[in-house]
Amino acid sequence: MLIRCNRFTHSMGLGLLLTPLFSLADEVPGLFYKDQEKSALLAAIIEQDIPGLLQLDSNDHIEIIDSNNDTKRPPQSPEPVKVISINLRTKMEVFNLRNKKLRHGDKRENELAHEPSLRMNVGVMENNPIYGRAEIEWQRKTKRKSAAQPERQTKLELNQAYVGLTEDIIPYTHLRLGRWLYRDEREWLFDENLDGVVAQSKLGDWHLEALGGRVNYWQKDLLDSSTRSFEPVNIGSLILRKKIASKWQVGAYTVAQYHGDNHDRQLNIGLRSHNPAKKGLQHWFELGMSEKRQSDSDKRGYAVDLGGTYRFEDRALKPRVTLGYAFGSQDYRQTGLHSNEATLGGGSKFKIYGETLNPDLTNIHIFTASLGMDLSQQATLDVVYHRYHQARLSDFANNQTDLSSKYDRQNTRYLGSGVDMVLGWKPTDNTKVEAIVGMFSPSKRFTSASSPHSPRSENAYSIGLEAELRF
C-alpha cells in the first residue's frame, strides 16, 4: 500500500517506506498542516507503520493506492506553500532506579530524576522543493541520589536545524543538510542528532540512505558552550534496503567512525531483515560485526539479534506472543549512537534488552519472552521477561549496563533475570501516557559484601513515567 502526497513521492518515501526513522511531529519534514484533525489522521496512519509515500491531494485528503499498480494517476494541483508552521509539545518524564549497585538492606543506592520539557518545532516553506525545519527544546532536569543533595540543570537544546531538498531538485533523492535526528529499525545503530548531510534515495523497491556528519559539531545546549564537541567524532554510513513483500524488507549496512582526539576507529557492518506487520507474524533479524582499532589493541566481535511476534487478531484483546534471542561476543561493540528501543507490537517503545539492567549487546546472551494485549483501542499492555548469561565468564564491570556490583564472585555465567511491565495509553490523538515498571533479579554471583557468608544482593527496580501533550 502507498500513501500519496504531492512533491514528496520519492524524497519522502525512503525515510517512511521501510522504517519508522522519524516520528511525525518531531522529525519528518514537511508534514505539518494547518488543520489539526488532518495532521492527527496522518499521524495515526504513520503510527500504523503503513509503508509508502506520504501525499495529500489538493483538498488535503489522504489517498491510499496500490504501490504495485502502474496505472497513471491524474495530475494534482500543487499544494499551497506554507511560509511557516509551528508545533509544540510538552512532556513530563520521571525515572526512579532503585538499588543501582546491587547491594543489600540499608546499603542500597537509589536514583530519582524528573524532567519537564517544552519543545517547539518550526517548519519553513513546507510543500516547497527547498524547505527548512528547526527544533528547540527547553528542559529542566532534577536528579537526586541517595544521601545527596539534588542536582539541577536547565538546558535549551537545539535538536534540529536543517534545510531540505526534495526530488524536484535532485531526482529520486531527498536531501537534508544541517542538524537532523536519525533513527533506524529498533534503534539498533542510530538514535542520535547528527550535524552533516543525509541523502535518502528510492528507485523501485531499492532504497539507499547515505549520511556523513559529526555529533555536536555545533553547540548542543545553547546555554552551555561546552556542549560543542571539540574532540570530533566523524561518522559515515550507508544503509541499503530492498522491499521483498508487503512490509518485509531486507538490507545491509556499514557504519564507520573516526575519533579525531585519540585516532580510534570503529567499523560496524551487518545484514538485517525486518517485517513490522500489524497482523499475523512479524519478525526481526540482525547480524552484525564490529572492529574497533585503538592505539594499544584491536578488537573484533560479532552479534546476532532475532525474534518474532505473532498477533492473534481474531481473539479478544488481540493477544500477541514474542520470543527473541540476542547474543554479543566479548569484543563486539555497538555504535555508541544507539538506544536499543522499540515496541513488540504495543503502543509504547521500551528498552528491548530490559529496562532495569539495560545492557549493550556485549559479552552477553539474552533470551526474551513476552505477552502483550490491547486493553482497549487506546491502551496496550506488555509483560516482558529476560534471562541474561555472560558469553564468557568475566568481571561484570566489563558489561555495559545501567547497574554495577562491587562484590562479584564470578562463580557462574548466569547474571540473573528481569521482568518489565509496559503500559501505553493514548486517550486522544495529541495526548499520550506511558508507564514502565521493571525488575532485575541478580544471580548468586552478586553479594552485598566481600565476606564468603555475605547475603546475596537484593533485586533492583526501575519505574518510568512519561506524560505528553502536543498542540
Q: What is the DSSP string of 69-90?
A: --PPPPP-PPPPPEEEEEEEEE
Q: How far apart are the C-alpha atoms of 407 and 396, rounded to whole Å? A: 10
The residues near 124 (Cβ < 8 Å, ≥ 6 apart) are: 83, 84, 131, 132, 133, 134
Q: Report which of 366, 373, 364 is spatially closest to residue 352, judged by C-alpha positions.
A: 366
Question: Does pLDDT of 372 surpass 80?
Answer: yes
State how far Cα 334 lies from the chain centre: 14
Tens of pLDDT along 309-354?
999 988 999 999 999 999 999 999 999 999 999 999 888 999 999 9
Beta bridge partners of 390: 364
Q: How far apart are the C-alpha atoms of 354 and 402, rounded to whole Å? A: 10
Q: What is the DSSP string of 116-164?
A: EEEEEEEEEEETSSEEEEEEEEEEEEEEEETTS--EEEEEEEEEEEEEE
The pLDDT assigned to 80 comes to 67
The pLDDT assigned to 297 comes to 81
The pLDDT assigned to 133 comes to 97
The pLDDT assigned to 279 comes to 87
Question: Does pLDDT of 24 surpass 50?
Answer: no
DSSP 392: S
pLDDT, averaged across the chain = 85
| pTM value surpassing 0.95 | no
Question: Does pLDDT of 112 surpass 80?
Answer: yes
Look at 255 and 53; give whichever has higher pLDDT: 255
Question: Does pLDDT of 420 surpass 60?
Answer: yes
Confidence of residue 192 (pLDDT cuts 50, 70, 90): very high
The residues near 399 (Cβ < 8 Å, ≥ 6 apart) are: 359, 360, 362, 363, 364, 390, 415
Q: How far apart are the C-alpha atoms of 455 and 370, rounded to whole Å? A: 31
Look at 464 and 74; give whichever has higher pLDDT: 464
Q: How far apart are the C-alpha atoms of 206 and 102, rounded to whole Å? A: 48
Mean pLDDT of the region 160-177: 95
The pLDDT assigned to 452 comes to 81
- Give the sign of the dihedral formed by CA 425, CA 369, CA 49, CA 185: positive
Question: Does pLDDT of 182 surpass 50?
Answer: yes
DSSP 67: T
Tens of pLDDT along 124-168?
998 899 999 999 999 999 999 987 899 999 999 999 999 999 999
Q: What is the DSSP string of 328-388?
A: E-TT----SS---EE-SSSS--EETT-TTT---SSSEEEEEEEEEEESSSSEEEEEEEEEE
Question: Does pLDDT of 42 surpass 50?
Answer: no
What percent of the chain shows pLDDT beyond 70?
83
Contact present, 104 and 455 (Cβ < 8 Å): yes
Question: Does pLDDT of 62 surpass 60?
Answer: no
3-class secondary structure, 253: strand
Cα-Cα end-to-end distance for the chain: 29
Question: Does pLDDT of 58 surpass 80?
Answer: no
E strand or H helix at 42: helix 36-47
Cell numbers describing residue 358: 539495560
What percent of the chain shows pLDDT beyond 90?
70
Question: Does pLDDT of 454 surpass 90?
Answer: no
Measured from the Cβ of residue 205, the count of other Cβ atoms closer than 10 Å reads 15
Measured from the Cβ of residue 81, the count of other Cβ atoms closer than 10 Å reads 12
The pLDDT assigned to 79 comes to 61
Architecture of domain 2-470: Beta Barrel (2.40)
Tens of pLDDT along 193-221?
999 999 999 999 999 999 999 999 999 99
Quote the Cα angle for 224-228-232, to 5°. 160
Look at 123 and 61; give whichever has higher pLDDT: 123
Confidence of residue 68 (pLDDT cuts 50, 70, 90): very low
| Buried-exposed string 286-300: b where 16+ CB fall within 10 A, e elsewhere | bebebbbeeeeeeee
HSE value, Cβ hemisphere, 13 Å, CA-based, for 23: 10
78 burial via Cβ count (<10 Å: 0-12, 13-18, 19+): exposed
Q: Report which of 165, 170, 174 is spatially closest to residue 12, judged by C-alpha positions.
A: 174
Contact present, 12 and 174 (Cβ < 8 Å): yes
Q: What is the DSSP string of 179-226?
A: EEEEE-GGGSS-EEEEEEEEEEEEETTEEEEEEEEESSSS-SBTT-GG
The residues near 310 (Cβ < 8 Å, ≥ 6 apart) are: 280, 281, 282, 320, 321, 322
Question: Does pLDDT of 60 surpass 90?
Answer: no
HSE value, Cβ hemisphere, 13 Å, CA-based, for 390: 21
Domain range summary for the chain, segments of one domain joined by +? 2-470
